[in-house]
Amino acid sequence: MALVSEGAAIARSQLVATTVTALVVAAVCGVIFATVGQSAATVAKVLASIDEAGTRTIVVRDASDEAGLRADSVNALSSIDGVVWVFGLGQATDVRNADLGLAGQAVPARRYYGDLPAEIQVSGRLPRSGEALIGSEAIGAVGVASPAVGLVGPGTDVAAVGGFQAQAPLAFLSRSVLIAPRISASDDRLRELYVVVDRAELVAQVATAIRLAVHAEAPQRLAIETPRLLVDLRSAVGGELIGSARQLLLIVLAVGLLLVTATTAGAVSARRRDFGRRRALGATRSAVVLLVLIQTGVAALIGSVAGTVVGLLAVLRLAGSLPDPAFILGVSVLALLMALAAGVPPALLAAFRDPVRILRVP
């Protein structure tokens, strides 16, 4: 603590060196955020737009209706690590407005299994067993203005108690009617299962686990569809953008390292007699090194905080959004470590100088 206090006092006494070091570190942070940070925000937007196309979605399909895919597969697949949600759909059947009968337009109705994901936005109350939700595009098709309507079809007589708007990867359901399943529906047969994972990198791994965990009479007849092309596109685009940003980051850090080294070397040279007296009075080399690094660290900490604030304001203005919090923290810590690394050579130079030669009077 005594060394920390003394190092801070040295930083205050050498205002020019401290100010220059702080400005260099602040400039490094500001430039990184204004360039690499903007690229990081852009990368996040690009990858998010690709993800909207379904890079994290796996579809399990029983197209032939011979696999015997059971509804209790929803719970089985939900327990797989990395799975965000699982949503099952039964066989589609046509339903019409009960008031119009055969004169009304038919829309597809399907029983759903599993909790409604956030991608299905419900207006009105959730349906109970045997009740239904009608999609935003299907409301007009059945000839009503509100989602409250009776629907009939072959073997189907159901009341819609609310509406919904579906987003990708379930956007196609907005043209349909979703019927809540029976209370005991574990043996019901499914035609499709939609599985969403939390990261695109997990798609292949989860797809393999699905084949083992799914409940079906003939799982080999199931078609498991993964967005391989989209995942590869995401990886290629992300790798290209991140690679160029990484190169720019290294260049900025290298320039900052040289400038801080030169500034710290000048400050150490100006205080060489002070360090010589300390060594002559018994100060260890490690104590001298720590004093220089503490002085540099104090200036770097001030510059890192100031540069981060200014850089984030620049990113927000240029890109309209902020980078990931981990990126923000990483840049701040990296700039601080860069300054400390730059202070090591001048600190060693001060520690290993011969105090007798420094203090000798000509």
- Asked if residue 193 and residue 175 are part of one domain, the reply reads yes
- 162 bridge partner residues: 124, 133
- Asked if residue 238 and residue 223 are part of one domain, the reply reads no
pLDDT in tens, 166-177: 998 899 999 999
- What residues have CB less than 8 Å from 264, skipping those under 6 apart? 17, 21, 292, 295, 296, 342, 343, 346, 347
Distance CA 165, CA 123 (A): 8
- Asked if residue 118 and residue 36 are part of one domain, the reply reads no
How many beta carbons lie within 10 A of that of residue 182, not counting itself? 12
The predicted structure's pLDDT at residue 179: 94
- Asked if residue 198 and residue 292 are part of one domain, the reply reads no
Number of residues that this document lists for the chain? 362
Confidence of residue 361 (pLDDT cuts 50, 70, 90): low
Percent of the chain at pLDDT > 70 equals 88
Q: Which spans in 214-284 are helix H?
A: 228-270, 272-280
- What residues have CB less than 8 Å from 288, skipping those under 6 apart? 275, 278, 279, 347, 350, 351
The predicted structure's pLDDT at residue 35: 79
Distance CA 166, CA 135 (A): 8
- Asked if residue 326 and residue 203 are part of one domain, the reply reads no
Is there a contact between 72 and 231 (Cβ–Cβ < 8 Å)?
no
Query: Ranked by mean pLDDT, which of 55-59, 148-152, 357-361 comes out on top?
Result: 148-152
Task: At 144, give phi and psi (nearest 5°).
Answer: -130, 160
| Placement of tokens 């006494």 in the chain | 13
Last residue of one domain, picked from the residues 177, 202, 227: 227
| Number of separate domains in the chain | 2
The whole-angstrom distance between residue 24's C-alpha and the CA centroid of its chain comes to: 30
Rounded average pLDDT over 50-56: 63
The predicted structure's pLDDT at residue 253: 87
- The chain-wide mean pLDDT, for the chain, equals 84
Last residue of one domain, picked from the residues 227, 262, 285: 227
Is there a contact between 325 and 360 (Cβ–Cβ < 8 Å)?
no
Rounded average pLDDT over 220-229: 82
Of the listed ranges 94-103, 292-301, 311-320, the one predicted with least confidence: 311-320
Measure the CA angle with vertex 58, ends 52 and 59; round to 5°.
110
Of the listed ranges 2-6, 246-250, 292-296, the one predicted with least confidence: 2-6
Q: What is the tally of helices (H) and strands (E) in the chain?
A: 11, 11
- Asked if residue 194 and residue 104 are part of one domain, the reply reads yes
- Asked if residue 16 and residue 68 are part of one domain, the reply reads no
The answer to whether the pTM exceeds 0.85 is: no
DSSP codes, 175-200: GSEEEPPPSS-TT-B-SEEEEEESSG
Domain range for 100: 58-227
Which among 151, 172, 153 has a CA at the least distance from the CA of 162?
A: 151
Which among 268, 294, 295, 259 has a CA at the least distance from the CA of 351?
A: 268
